[in-house]
Structure 1
Amino acid sequence: MNHRILFGSYPIPRFAGIVSHNFVVWTDDTGRPLYEINGGAAHADGSFNYCALRGPLTAVVTDYAKRDLVYCPEFYVRPTSRTIVLMEGNVSSIAARWRTAVDVAERIRLSKLRYSFLVQNSNSVATAIAEGMGLKPPSAAVGRVKAPGSHRHLVLDAA
């Protein structure tokens, strides 16, 4: 197996699993996660707000070699998470796309956009990350009910 970029979806139990949190993950040739990007809101101290209703919109890059759940969430390893392969290739081709994803995540963090549960949220971040890499988010993981905000195109300054 090659390295992969996956589009993940985690059904949120609080909403009976109907609404999902989308994210993007890079796995190695054994399927082990190396990095993950999640969108959401940040607390004032910069930690990830798992139960956000408002706050600054952020995109967090999790390095699985340096785990810190307060600042860097991990959804790929949750048993109910589902993933779809966006791209498969050798490590250098995946790393090149991932560098682009990290750049988009930085632009989102610096954008001063506000988190909104139904409009600008983890799902719009995941869509922006995938599209920023030149990949199309899977139709099975997006939708106005299933993944509110997934159709929202974030307005970001050029890099």
Structure 2
Amino acid sequence: MEHRILFGSYPIPRFGGIASHNFVVWTDEAGRPLFEINGGAANPDGSFNYCAIGGALTAVVTDYAKRDLVYFPEFYVRPTSRTTMILEGSYATIAARWRAAIDVAERIRQSDLRYSFLIQNSNSVATAIAKGMGLNPPRKAVGRVRAPGSHRQLLLDAA
């Protein structure tokens, strides 16, 4: 198996598992997560707001070698998370696409966009990250009920 970029969905228990939190993850050839990108709201101190109803929209890049759940969330490792492979390739191929994802995440952090549960949220961030890598999120992971905000096009200034 080669390195992979996966598009993940975590069914949110508070919403009966109907609505999901989408994210993107890079795994090595053994399927171990190396990096993950999550969107959501930031707390005033910059930590990730797991229970957001407002705040600044952010994109957080988690390095699995440097775990810190307050600032860098991990959803790939949760037992109820589901993933779909959107790209498989060599380390160099995946690293090049991931660099593009990091650039989009930085543009989201610098955008001054506000988090909104139904409009601009983790799902719109995950979609923007995938599209920024030249990839499409899987159809089964997007939708207005399943993943509110997943169809939202984030308006990002070019960096």
TM-score, normalised with respect to structure 1: 1.00
Within 5 A, what are the aligned runs for 1:4-153? 4-153=4-153
Q: Which runs of 5+ in 2 are unaligned?
A: none
Q: Distance in 2 between matches of 1:98 and 1:144?
A: 27
Query: Per-residue deviation at 1:96?
Result: 0.2
Q: Distance in 1 between matches of 2:99 and 2:131?
A: 13
Query: Per-residue deviation at 1:16?
Result: 0.3
Aligned CA-pair RMSD: 0.2
Q: Distance in 1 between matches of 2:37 and 2:139?
A: 19
Whichever residue aligns with residue 92 of structure 2, its letter is S
Q: SS at 1:123's partner residue?
A: helix
Q: Distance in 2 between matches of 1:44 and 1:81?
A: 28
Q: Which runs of 5+ in 1 are unaligned?
A: none
Query: Per-residue deviation at 1:20?
Result: 0.1
Count of residues in Structure 1 that have an aligned counterpart in Structure 2: 159
TM-score, normalised with respect to structure 2: 1.00
Q: SS at 1:66's partner residue?
A: coil
Q: Distance in 2 between matches of 1:62 and 1:156?
A: 21
Query: Per-residue deviation at 1:151?
Result: 0.1
Residue deviations 1:56-103, cap 9 Å, x none?
000000000000000000000000000000000000000000000000
Whichever residue aligns with residue 94 of structure 1, its letter is I
Q: Distance in 2 between matches of 1:14 and 1:136?
A: 27
Query: Per-residue deviation at 1:133?
Result: 0.2
Q: Distance in 2 between matches of 1:15 and 1:148?
A: 12
Q: Distance in 1 between matches of 2:122 and 2:156?
A: 15
Q: Distance in 1 between matches of 2:6 and 2:105?
A: 16
Whichever residue aligns with residue 3 of structure 1, its letter is H
Residue deviations 1:88-145, cap 9 Å, x none?
0000000000000000000000000000000000000000000000000100000000
Q: Distance in 2 between matches of 1:146 and 1:3?
A: 28
Q: Distance in 2 between matches of 1:63 and 1:144?
A: 30
